[in-house]
Each structure stands twice: as structure tokens, then as C-alpha cells.
């Protein structure tokens, strides 16, 4: 089940579960649409494609809540990773 992370890893913008502006890669790295566009739709962590994050129906959030753990790249986001290996720290 998707974590539905609460923020953009680059700019720390809030991305609530119902947000239409959240973008994720296959590892669930999460970015806002503006940062994803700046990254040419490529995850800076793994080089994967950033796509619109599915929204969980409101009635399902009670039993399957979104994550509250914020992940932020304090140095900001640079260009996408050249390799396909996930390079999280």
C-alpha cells in the first residue's frame, strides 16, 4: 500500500493525500508537480519516472491513513541521478 508521503522532498511543500500535485516514482519518492517539472519528470534519487500519485478515497483514509513522516533533501534537488540505483541517505 502506498505511504502517501506528506511533503515534497525538494521544497517541503505540503502534499495532503487528496493533492493532485503529488508526483511519485516506483520507490515512492515524493515531489510536488513544480519540482517534478524542474527535474524533467525524473526522480533525482533513483532516475525513475515521476508520475501523478494516486489518491486514496477519503472513506479509506480512516483505516489506511497517509504517512506523517516528512522526508526532505536539505541540500535541495539537483539533476536526476545518472544510475538506476536508489541512492537515499
Q: Which residue has the higher pLDDT, 73 or 66?
A: 66
Q: How many CA atoms lie within 13 A of 64 on its CB side?
A: 11
Q: How far apart are CA 37 and CA 39, in angstroms?
A: 5
Could you tell me the domains of the chain? Answer: 1-71 (3.30.40)
**DSSP H or E run through 30:** strand 30-32
2-31 pLDDT per residue, tens: 999 999 999 999 999 999 999 999 999 999
**pTM of the shown model:** 0.83
Amino acid at each position: 500500500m502506498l505511504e502517501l508521503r506528506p511533503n515534497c522532498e525538494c521544497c517541503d511543500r505540503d502534499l495532503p493525500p487528496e493533492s493532485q500535485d503529488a508526483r511519485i516514482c516506483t520507490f515512492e519518492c515524493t515531489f510536488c508537480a513544480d519540482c517534478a517539472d524542474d527535474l524533467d519528470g525524473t526522480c533525482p534519487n533513483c532516475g525513475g519516472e515521476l508520475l501523478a500519485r494516486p489518491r486514496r478515497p477519503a472513506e479509506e483514509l480512516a483505516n489506511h491513513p497517509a504517512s506523517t513522516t516528512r522526508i526532505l533533501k536539505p541540500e535541495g534537488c539537483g539533476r536526476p541521478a545518472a544510475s538506476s540505483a536508489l541512492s537515499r541517505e
